[in-house]
Structure 1
Amino acid sequence: MSLPPAVLQSRWFPIVLLVFSNVFMTIAWYGHLKHKGSALWKVIIVSWGIAFFEYVLQVPANRYGNSVYSAPQLKIIQEVITLCVFCVFAMLYLGDRIRWNYVAAFICVLAAVAFAVVPKN
């Protein structure tokens, strides 16, 4: 992939890739929960196929992101994105409600991101 250096060194580019990566990941990991009648081996194969696209986005997100974030910062940011994507998926696709204790836990994770990206000085 040949993108302009300004894009590759942007603080937002890896975040955008991580968001799309997490959409694929969430579908691969949890999409089958509405299809419990499907054979497990079929679900595994379909999930692997979907997860391929997660990796196609996740690996570049981490590679390019490491030019502006440390590896721990990337991981913590990715976890917040995962929770955001999953909450939307759980409500819209699975019909789950997001309870107050989930929100409280999410706020704790957001605090972790804040601590992780605070400047070193």
Structure 2
Amino acid sequence: MTTGPWSEKTFRIRIVRRPEGEAPDWVRDAWIGVEIPLLAPDAVSTLGFGVLSGPKNIVLDYLLGLIGRAKPIAGYVVAADTAVECLMEHAPAAAEWWREQAPYLVRKGARFIFDTPACERVP
């Protein structure tokens, strides 16, 4: 269960523009119009990796982060498995692309960050 001062309200974003990333354009375009619950109420600034070129496990993720291979990103954090479920309702072929091409990301505990310009907060 989520805890914190904002836990009683579910915050959401709607994807309004093609998100940045390494997925094919048609997959990124499929996110437009999808609403996704947030894991944190505000956008964050952090370091991350591309979904295709980045590390496939947490140890490598940590090590590459230590040596400066991660790139800065500002955006909204969502649960990857929940995001793909939301996408499935909107564009099943795009959701299937995620399950086939990046299965290590579409699991409980994995996170996606959608860049801030691609999102709007849902009231």
Query: Could you state the TM-score of these two structures normalised by the residue count of structure 2?
Result: 0.28
Structure holding more strand per residue:
2
